[in-house]
Amino acid sequence: MNLLPLFQWCEESGIGRTVRESVWAFAVIESTHLLSLVILGGSVLLVDLRILNLGLRQRSVGELARETQPYARIGLVVLLLSGLALFLSEATKCYYSFPFWVKMGSLAAAIVFTYTVHNRVALSADDRSSSGRTMMALVSLALWFTVAASGRWIGFSG
């Protein structure tokens, strides 16, 4: 299935054209995108580091997960919306970009993992350390790091 015509249509959409032709829109949207990644990533990082017993030990994992969850959700929604606007402005470039496909794959995997396995484990009342919980936190960190790193890779890959 050839997605190139769809990507070209996306780039020529009203939003894509507006963002691409604006002097400041791309920079503002990119800044918003990065800030939302910080909010989402920070929320996930706090919980994962707590699971790994690397900070906030006076708080239970479940308590911390419940408190950070609204920030993670807001960060994810803004991240997706701003990412869509950025994508629309250069969709054809994205189609040919290997880092873009790495980011989309890792983003999908990170979202599914976070909102299934990660949240179920983090929100449980059990605060005992185990190799399974440790592995879950490490996988979570690796997935979100890959999302962020591949996003930067897109920016530097021309």
Domain that holds residue 75: 4-153
Pair 102, 153: CB distance under 8 Å: yes
pLDDT per residue as tens digits for the range 121-151: 888 756 666 777 889 999 999 999 999 999 8
Determine contact, residues 45/108, Cβ cutoff 8 Å: no
The reply to whether 108 falls in a domain is yes
Is residue 83 domain-resident?
yes
Residues 6+ apart with CB under 8 A from 9: none
pLDDT digits (tens, 9 = 90+) for 32-56: 999 999 999 999 999 999 989 888 8
- Report the domain count for the chain: 1
Domain presence at residue 158: no
Which one, of 56, 58, 61, lies nearest residue 140 by Cα?
61
Q: 58 lies in a domain?
A: yes
Within-domain flag for 52: yes
122 inside domain:
yes
pLDDT, tens digit, for every residue of 55-104?
A: 888 888 889 999 999 999 999 999 999 999 999 999 999 999 999 999 99
Q: Note the Cα 131 to chain centre separation in Å.
A: 25
**In angstroms, what is the C-alpha Rg of the chain?**
18
Answer whether residue 56 is part of any domain: yes
* Residue among 154, 23, 13, 21 at smallest CA distance from 94: 154
Task: Specify the pLDDT at position 134.
Answer: 87
Q: Is residue 103 part of a domain?
A: yes
